[in-house]
Structure 1
Amino acid sequence: MPPSTLGRLGLLARDRGLQAGFGVLALFVVGDLRRDLLLTATYSASAIIASMLTTAWRTAAVAVASVTLAFLIGYLDDGPAGAEWALRGWLGAALGVLAVISAVVRDRREERLRRMTVIAATAQQALLSSIPSRLADVELAARYVSATTAAQVGGDLYEVSSTPYGVRMIVGDVKGKGIEAVQIAASVLSAFRHAAVTESDVGALARTLDAAVGRMVSDEDFVTAIVAEFAHDRITLANCGHPSPVLVAGRRIESLDPVEHTLPLGLGADPVLSTHPWPEGARMLLYTDGLVEARDRRGRFFPLDDHAEELADGSLDQALDHLVDQLLLHAGTHVDDDLALVLTEHHA
């Protein structure tokens, strides 16, 4: 038998829908033959179960088997003179047809969902274009970690721009999932690219972004974000409801918390700026909440503080790859929410 045929047979053998459908059918048949329960009309319940778990074609296979057995066993029980076996058989056939129709509707709905997810993921990846490895005296590296296939596409975003005021960066996270989140993220990035080179300070830049987000979202939607400006030996941050960056200078680890907590973009953000030393060789990690909210099997959050010191080891890319490996090890090879990571380093 050709290897391709063996592979297809193996896939069929592992299909949970087929296993469940034929398993239930076998139980009905064995119960009917042993105790004469007249269950032939319910044989097609096996097709209904299969329709919830497998494709329409495989559901049809279970339905055909159930209806065939219903007519055969009914005929053997009642004989040609009886009429009830035929009625039960036709009732089972009607249930089988409904099961196949249900599977067809589910298949089409899932295919539409898959297409929309692919479109959203493609749009999101197009938005998150590769950032340069260096701008002025700032070296950069970024990672985007997608969630499980069951999760929807999120609105995590990042961008960096060289301006007359220094290197400016935004890392943000749109509330919600799907196409709408990606559209909002695109608008935020567009507004940032325009305002980053025109606004005189990052506070004004954040307020401009807040106004842009407010025009496009409802009262319940928002974008958490942090806007950073790197100028020589100082970092200026405008934190709008976003997780605080982590600064690694030598072996000193510091969370750059805001002076005063501020509402996210779209809710009237007016951040109080905070300024921090930016010594040569120091690194700063900016991230979205998918990093610190990743849970292990016991429900424990990812302990970023335990791994922050490791951000100083190796190149920026190596440090980020190691952090992602530790995250996946903690969460069990997958995460439940998309996350964006940007690691920077000061090189005079």
Structure 2
Amino acid sequence: MPPSALGRLGLLLRDRGLQAGFGVLALLVLVDLRRDLLLTATYSASAIIASMLTTARRTAAVAAASVVMAFVVGYLDEGTEGTEWLLRAWLGVALAILAVVSAVVRDRREERLRRMTVIAATAQQALLSSLPARLGEVGLAARYVSATAAAQIGGDLYEASFTPYGVRMIVGDVKGKGLEAVQVAASVLSAFRHAAVTETDIGAVARALDATVGGMVSDEDFVTAIVAEFTTDRVTLANCGHPSPMLVAGRAASSLEPSEHTLPLGLGADPVLTTHDWPEGARMLLYTDGLVEARDDRGRFFSLDEHANLLSRGSLEQALDHLVDQLLQHAGTQVDDDLALVLTEHHP
């Protein structure tokens, strides 16, 4: 048998839908033959179970087998006398057809969902263009970690611009999922690119973004974001309801909490700016809440404080790789929410 045929056979044998369908069929036939319970009409339950777990084509194989067995067992039990066994067999045929139709509908619905997910993912990836390795005195590296296949595409965003006022950056997270969240993220990034080079301070940048978001979302929707401005030896932050960045300078790591918590964008954000030292060699991680809200199998959140030492190891790219590896180990190789990470370093 050719290797390709052996591979297809192996896939068929590992198909849980086929295993469940033929397993249930064998069990029903065995019980019927031993107990004489006249279960022929229920043989198609095997096809119904298969329709929940496998493709329409494989469901049809289970359905055909259940119908054949219904006629054969019914004939062996009662022969050709009477029509009761025949009626039960035809009832099994009807149930088998229903199972195949159900599998076809499920396959089409899942295919539409896959197409929409691909479209949303492509749109999001187009938004999150690669950051340069360096802007002025700021080294940059970014990661985007997608959630499980079951989760919808989110609206995580990041961008950095070299401006007359210094290097300005935004990291944000749109409330909600799907294409609507991606569209809001696109509008926020577009507004940031304009405001970053025209507004004299990042407080004004945040207010401009708030007006943009407020004009396109409902009262219950919003965008958490943090806008940062890097100058020679200072970093200024405008935090709009977003997780605080982590600063690593030497062996010390600290969370840069805002002096006053501010509403997210779209809800009237007017952040109080905070300024922090930005020494040579210091690194700062900006991230979305998918990082600190990732849970392990016991429900414990990922602790960024416990893993802050990873941020100073190796290059920026290597440091992010180490952090993502630890995150995936904590969450069991998959996360339930998308997350964006941007790691910066001061290079005079």
Residue 303 of structure 1 is matched in structure 2 by: 303
Residue 144 of structure 1 is matched in structure 2 by: 144
Residue 127 of structure 1 is matched in structure 2 by: 127
Residue 23 of structure 2 is matched in structure 1 by: 23
Deviations 1:113-143 (A, max 9, x none): 0011011111111110001111111111111
Q: CA deviation at 1:82?
A: 1.5
**CA distance in structure 2 between the partners assigned to 1:215 and 1:40 by the alignment:** 63
Residue 159 of structure 1 is matched in structure 2 by: 159
Q: CA deviation at 1:337?
A: 1.0
Q: Does residue 284 of the first structure (1) align with residue 284 of the second (2)? A: yes
Q: CA deviation at 1:17?
A: 0.6
**CA distance in structure 1 between the partners assigned to 2:75 and 2:82 by the alignment:** 8
Residue 71 of structure 2 is matched in structure 1 by: 71
Please tell me the residue identity of whatever aligns with 2:130: S
Please tell me the residue identity of whatever aligns with 1:194: H
Please tell me the residue identity of whatever aligns with 1:84: E
Q: CA deviation at 1:328?
A: 1.2
**CA distance in structure 2 between the partners assigned to 1:310 and 1:67 by the alignment:** 61
TM-score calculated relative to the size of structure 1: 0.99
Unaligned 5+ segments in structure 1 are none
**CA distance in structure 2 between the partners assigned to 1:180 and 1:37 by the alignment:** 55
Please tell me the residue identity of whatever aligns with 2:36: D
**CA distance in structure 2 between the partners assigned to 1:53 and 1:333 by the alignment:** 24
Secondary structure in 2 matching 1:264: coil
**CA distance in structure 1 between the partners assigned to 2:310 and 2:29 by the alignment:** 62
Q: CA deviation at 1:73?
A: 0.8
Q: CA deviation at 1:310?
A: 2.3
Residue 252 of structure 1 is matched in structure 2 by: 252
**CA distance in structure 1 between the partners assigned to 2:66 and 2:236 by the alignment:** 70
Unaligned 5+ segments in structure 2 are none
Secondary structure in 1 matching 2:197: coil
Please tell me the residue identity of whatever aligns with 1:171: V
Please tell me the residue identity of whatever aligns with 1:237: L
Residue 43 of structure 2 is matched in structure 1 by: 43
Q: CA deviation at 1:71?
A: 0.9
Please tell me the residue identity of whatever aligns with 1:285: L
Please tell me the residue identity of whatever aligns with 1:148: T
**CA distance in structure 1 between the partners assigned to 2:175 and 2:78 by the alignment:** 63
**CA distance in structure 1 between the partners assigned to 2:224 and 2:155 by the alignment:** 10
Please tell me the residue identity of whatever aligns with 1:111: E
Q: CA deviation at 1:7?
A: 0.6
Q: Does residue 225 of the first structure (1) align with residue 225 of the second (2)? A: yes
Q: CA deviation at 1:231?
A: 1.2
Q: CA deviation at 1:152?
A: 1.3
Residue 9 of structure 1 is matched in structure 2 by: 9
**CA distance in structure 2 between the partners assigned to 1:118 and 1:343 by the alignment:** 27
**CA distance in structure 1 between the partners assigned to 2:309 and 2:21 by the alignment:** 53
Please tell me the residue identity of whatever aligns with 1:258: P
**CA distance in structure 2 between the partners assigned to 1:175 and 1:218 by the alignment:** 11
Residue 55 of structure 1 is matched in structure 2 by: 55
After TM superposition, where is structure 1 displaced by more than 4 Å over at least 4 residues in a row?
none
Please tell me the residue identity of whatever aligns with 1:260: E
Q: CA deviation at 1:309?
A: 2.0
Residue 109 of structure 1 is matched in structure 2 by: 109
Q: Does residue 213 of the first structure (1) align with residue 226 of the second (2)? A: no
**Aligned pairs for 1:160-175 within 5 A:** 160-175=160-175
Q: Does residue 202 of the first structure (1) align with residue 224 of the second (2)? A: no
Residue 321 of structure 2 is matched in structure 1 by: 321
Q: CA deviation at 1:146?
A: 1.0
**CA distance in structure 1 between the partners assigned to 2:263 and 2:27 by the alignment:** 59
**CA distance in structure 1 between the partners assigned to 2:312 and 2:42 by the alignment:** 65
**Aligned pairs for 1:262-281 within 5 A:** 262-281=262-281
Secondary structure in 1 matching 2:345: strand
Q: CA deviation at 1:11?
A: 0.5
Count of aligned pairs? 348
**CA distance in structure 1 between the partners assigned to 2:96 and 2:264 by the alignment:** 53
Please tell me the residue identity of whatever aligns with 2:187: S
Q: CA deviation at 1:220?
A: 1.3
**CA distance in structure 1 between the partners assigned to 2:278 and 2:24 by the alignment:** 67
Please tell me the residue identity of whatever aligns with 2:55: T
Secondary structure in 2 matching 1:337: coil
Give the RMSD, CA atoms, in angstroms. Answer: 0.8
Residue 293 of structure 1 is matched in structure 2 by: 293
Please tell me the residue identity of whatever aligns with 2:314: G
**CA distance in structure 2 between the partners assigned to 1:300 and 1:22 by the alignment:** 40
Please tell me the residue identity of whatever aligns with 1:323: L
**CA distance in structure 2 between the partners assigned to 1:42 and 1:245 by the alignment:** 61
Deviations 1:17-38 (A, max 9, x none): 1111111111110111001101
Q: CA deviation at 1:219?
A: 1.3
Please tell me the residue identity of whatever aligns with 1:331: A
Q: CA deviation at 1:44?
A: 0.5
